[in-house]
Amino acid sequence: MSDILSKKEIEHFIHNGFIRLDNSFSKETADAALDILWNDLPCDRSNPSTWIEPVIRLGMYTNEPFVNSVNTPKLHNAFNQLIGKDKWIPCRNVGTFPVRFPSSQQPNDTGKHVDASFPGNDPNNFLEWRVNVKSKGRALLMLILYSDVSENDAPTIIYEGSHIDVASVLYKEGDSGISFMELAGKLDELPKRKEVFATGKAGTVYLCHPFLVHSGQPHRGSTPKFMAQPPLLLRGELSISDSDIGYSPVEKAIRLGID
């Protein structure tokens, strides 16, 4: 199979922190996943008056439609181009779903953040999970759309190029890195970055640098939004200095922030 990503797309990933891949998996796969998710929700798919919460979290899903959606040849090819062949671990679940419903209520999870990737002292306390400059454990953040998402449907806000600023912050923190909450507290001090909305049809996947700053937002549309955001896990460790064999796009992006 020839490479999925063009040279221009790879440069966009390095400098802007993400690429959008349309039609990464089929509508049939997305619909099969939605049927499972709706079955687990405490509300009626055909009756919007039962959609009373702005966000309901579901997870962790290992059913066939979910595993198939993140393991298509197209995605595997892109992973190889961004991280390197044999350097990542295939996804066996898609993590949690923050299902967003049309609501006048303000959801309580719309702050800017960078997803953490390895446990702190208490592995059960997600807010104490950590992230370091080598992105220990995490190769990519993925935003996987299982429903069509327009600008009104609470698309995730991506802060373009913010991964470079975050690399610079993490570089000062050494191998132990900093916690999810500590890092979140520093994000408003970073340079202002262009906001991009992660919109697209069901089957669209945004492959994001692990350091990319992003945030949720309220839902102003009419159709609930279904998106998963699993990590792509690293098999080994990223190399960000003194490499004899060159650097992958994920590593090159980090180097932009630490040079």
Residue pLDDT, tens place only, 25-38: 999 999 999 999 99
CB atoms within 10 A of CB 199: 17
Tokens (6 digits) for 67: 């595993």
Per-chain mean pLDDT for the chain: 95
Beta strands in the chain (DSSP E): 18-21, 55-58, 88-89, 97-100, 130-131, 138-145, 157-159, 178-179, 195-197, 205-208, 214-215, 227-228, 231-234
Question: What pTM did the predictor assign?
Answer: 0.96
What single letter denotes the amino acid at residue 194? K
d(CA 22, CA 42): 31
**Burial category of 157 from C-beta neighbours within 10 Å (exposed 0-12, middle 13-18, buried 19 and up):** middle
Which of 142, 40, 58 minimizes the C-alpha distance to 100?
Answer: 58
Are 196 and 160 a contacting pair, CB within 8 Å?
A: yes
Are 158 and 18 a contacting pair, CB within 8 Å?
A: yes
Nearest 5°: phi and psi at 196? -120, 135
Q: Report the pLDDT averaged over residues 107-136.
A: 91
Q: Report the pLDDT averaged over residues 84-113.
A: 91
Tokens (6 digits) for 133: 């400059």
Least confident of 128-132, 167-171, 222-226, 239-243: 239-243
Q: How far from 137 is each of 88, 119, 125, 129, CA to CA, in Å?
A: 9, 10, 17, 12
**Burial category of 146 from C-beta neighbours within 10 Å (exposed 0-12, middle 13-18, buried 19 and up):** buried
Are 184 and 132 a contacting pair, CB within 8 Å?
A: no
Q: Is the pLDDT of residue 59 over 90?
A: no
- Residue 1: pLDDT band by 50, 70, 90 thresholds? low
Tokens (6 digits) for 144: 């996987």
Question: What share of the chain in percent tops pLDDT 90?
Answer: 89
Q: What is the DSSP pairing of strand 138-145 with strand 97-100?
A: unpaired
Which range in 5-19, 101-115, 122-136 is most confidently predicted, on average pLDDT? 5-19
What's the CATH number of domain 7-258, 2.60.120.620, 1.10.10.10, 3.55.40.20, 1.20.1050.140?
2.60.120.620
CB atoms within 10 A of CB 81: 20
Q: Report the pLDDT averaged over residues 2-20.
A: 96
